[in-house]
Amino acid sequence: MSLINKLSIRLQNHPKRVAFPEGADPRIIQAARQFATRGLGVPILLGDRSRIKINAARLDIRLDGIRIIEPARSDEMEQFSTKFQGLRRFKGLNDKQTREFLENTSYFATMMLATAACDAIVSGATVSASSALRPLFRIIPTQEGVQTASSMLILEKEDSRLGVDGALFCSDCGVIPEPTAEQLSDIAVTTAGLAHHLTNQTPKVAMLSFSSKKDKSSNASISRVKAATSMARDKIREFDMPADIDGELQVDAALDSFVAEQKGIGGSVAGKANVLIFPDLNSGNIASKLAQLVAGCRSYGQIITGLSKPAAEISRGASAHDIFGTAVIVAAQAVDRSYLFPVMESK
């Protein structure tokens, strides 16, 4: 069973509210309908109400069980304006300036998330990544003990030998171009934490490089991965997280036990990795898109990691299926792991 189907079954017992800032987009409407029909919670479509209804009618999609909010006419506008002006980044704005921000559906949705008026956000269907991410990074704080917000893409293939029953958790594929060793360590820890939350399996984290640790190299990028690996291990111990971290590893040695054996690389991660941490955005973005286009992997995300609230920034090329799967993931992220995986089940 796919990760999305597993999480959907669990979400039916813990339904959540997911806000979509680009609510009039046909793919969003289709994904929202599926989310509501499967009893996973309440999708919230933000945007022009009449346009949303017209597009839904064209698709012959019912809107029952789906909430529609037009920010400019929302009863929550006044309350959000007061809270928005109280944020450190927006102090000094007058009422008109504040309203201009909040009439932008991405900012309005982020304020919904910040004030618990929704449980998660899926944005980016029709806007650039920077436009979708900016409100989140300006309003939602990072997790305690974490300095870096980044992104995770879940790649899934019908091969139970790969990752966790075919699911691989890959970071960072969308936010930080050239992470420092400290940022890489944060990326590794937050991705491992989310992988554990969603699967209840021990994350086996491979810090990727073009060279495996048995190879001798003084390259600066490899030195950075080595330092990040050491820092991530320290943080895992500090946070008392269940995870195994190893690096630096080539991706074939991380995923294929035969290759790892041939290269003389042992340990609990080599050949068994389910979390892949890329050394930079170039490698992460290129590898993930190759996996989708050449290998036919399904993809969900980008899921924003390191923030204190669940959010995702999807590609403008995402399908309705991709969007639905991403909504399921951030909704499940909003459920306490002890409810997703009760103690008796875990034993």
Q: Mark whether 71 and 9 lie in a shared domain.
A: yes
Q: Which of 274, 291, 306 is the last residue of a domain?
A: 306
The 3-state secondary structure of the chain, one letter per residue: CCHHHHHHHHHCCCCEEEEECCCCCHHHHHHHHHHHHCCCEEEEEECCHHHHHHHHHHCCCCCCCCEEECHHHCCCHHHHHHHHHCCHHHCCCCHHHHHHHHCCHHHHHHHHHHCCCCCEEEECCCCCHHHHHHHHHHHCCECCCCCCCEEEEEEECCCCCCCECCEEEEECCCCCCCCCHHHHHHHHHHHHHHHHHHHCCCCEEEEECCCCCCCCCCCHHHHHHHHHHHHHHHHHHHHCCCCEEEEEECHHHHHCHHHHHHCCCCCCCCCCCCEEECCCHHHHHHHHHHHHHCCCCEEEEEEEECECCCEEECCCCCCHHHHHHHHHHHHHHCCCHHHHCCHHHHC
- 155, 40: one domain: no
> What average pLDDT score do residues 299-314 get?
93
279 in the same domain as 163: yes
For all residues of the chain together, what is the average pLDDT? Answer: 91
Give the pLDDT confidence of 22-65 residue by residue, as tens digits: 999 999 999 999 999 999 999 999 999 999 999 999 999 999 99
**Residues 121, 200: one domain?**
no
Clarify whether residues 41 and 89 are in a common domain.
yes
Q: Are residues 20 and 130 in the same domain?
A: yes
Residues 130, 183 share a domain = no
Q: Are residues 282 and 154 in the same domain?
A: yes
Domain containing residue 84: CATH number: 3.40.50.10950
At residue 217, does pLDDT exceed 80? no
266 with 300, same domain? Answer: yes
Query: 213 and 99 in one domain?
Result: no
Q: What is the pLDDT of residues 244-272, one digit of tens each?
A: 999 889 999 999 999 999 888 989 999 99
Q: Check residue 174 and give its pLDDT.
A: 84
Q: How many domains does the chain have?
A: 2
User: Does 272 lie in the same domain as 331?
Assistant: no
Residues 190 and 256 in one domain: yes
The CATH number linked to 206 is 3.40.50.10750
Residue 27 structural domain: 1-140+309-347
